[in-house]
Structure 1
């Protein structure tokens, strides 16, 4: 398989899941600031011009973090990282969709790309502040779901790396993390595959979760 990714982005979730599954894959870096996502070669793979994109063994392409995570967890290693009961399966899907569409799409997207939401640069700081507030609200909601649980589902699943990437962003921008979210984040940071992926993507795991 081939993973088209950007270090430190939402694609980190898929990178972690591939390593957890011990899959053999090629990593291809898409430089978003340089506009690689709009180049013809990449558009031929992913016309949506976003990341990540996963080219599967049969040559077909999957996009969108929740969809890629679901497929990997459900079909690889005999479904090792996908819940085996309807309730946990539903909660895992619910969390992945909420992370990608709300915490990321409405929250952090405003912080990292305010120009996509407002053309007036004089208002960008206000847009960024709104984005952080939305992300904080979203994390507070997931924090409630994690009460009394170590993982999003009954055990480690694809939903956990997906939640991890937005918490990683929250940590990087200095956001105070709710107690259950922080516990989950530290547990994820202790996993060898997560540690390996962060180092490969240019980060030092030992410096994370210090001020949270």
Structure 2
């Protein structure tokens, strides 16, 4: 398999899962600042023009963070990165969707791409401020959820890889502070060998 990944992007979470599951996968780096995602070559792989994109050995392409994460977890069901029980599964999917659709797309995207949310340049700072509010409120929710558990769903799951990439952004791209329990979660994941290998890649 081949993962199309961009440094500092949400595909870091997918790399974490690949390393955690021990899946043999080539990583191809996409130059987002340079616009590689808009080239005909990349659009032939993912017409959406974004990462992550996973190419299976049979050539089929899977896109979108939740879909790729779920697919990888399903390849190694014995690792239980997706719970087998219906309620546990729902809770993991719930957490992943909130990170991706709200914290990432509604929050972080406003911070780094304010022009996508406002027609006037003089509104950019307000858009960024609103994005940071959304991003931080997400961490507040997860902070409460992590009060009595080490991982989002009790044991390590794809939800932790999703939350980790958002935490990594807050610490390394925004130079911000995480709430106490989220910071403990972030440090816990930073200590995992799979996460260190993902960061090295």
Task: For residue 79 of structure 1, report the CA deviation from its aligned partner.
Answer: 4.9
CA distance in 1, matches of 2:138, 2:49: 26
Q: Which moved more, 1:70-79 or 1:148-157?
A: 70-79
Instruction: Please state how far the C-alpha of 1:40 moved relative to its aligned partner.
Output: 0.8
More divergent stretch after superposition (110-119 vs 171-180): 171-180
Residue matched to 1:204: none
CA distance in 1, matches of 2:78, 2:55: 20
| Contact map agreement 1:164 1:185 (CA 8 A) in 2 | yes
Question: Which structure 2 residue ranges, 5 or more long, are not aligned?
Answer: none
Q: Secondary structure at the match of 2:107?
A: helix
Q: Which residue in the other structure is 1:164 paired with?
A: 164
- Please provide the CA RMSD for this pair: 1.3
Please list every run of at least 4 consecutive aligned residues from structure 1 whose deviation after the TM superposition is greater than 3 angstroms: 77-80
Answer yes or no: is 1:93 the counterpart of 2:102: no
Q: Which stretch has the larger CA shift, 96-105 or 123-132?
A: 123-132
TM-score (norm 2): 0.94
Q: Which residue of 2 aligns with 1:64?
A: 64
Superposition map of 1:3-82 within 5 A = 3-76=3-76, 78-82=78-82
Alpha-carbon shift at residue 13 of structure 1 (Å): 0.3
Q: Normalised by the size of structure 1, how large is the TM-score?
A: 0.90
2:144 counterpart residue number: 144
Unaligned runs of 5+ in 1: 201-212
Distance 2:32 2:92 in 1: 29
Question: Which secondary structure does the structure 2 equivalent of 1:57 belong to?
Answer: coil
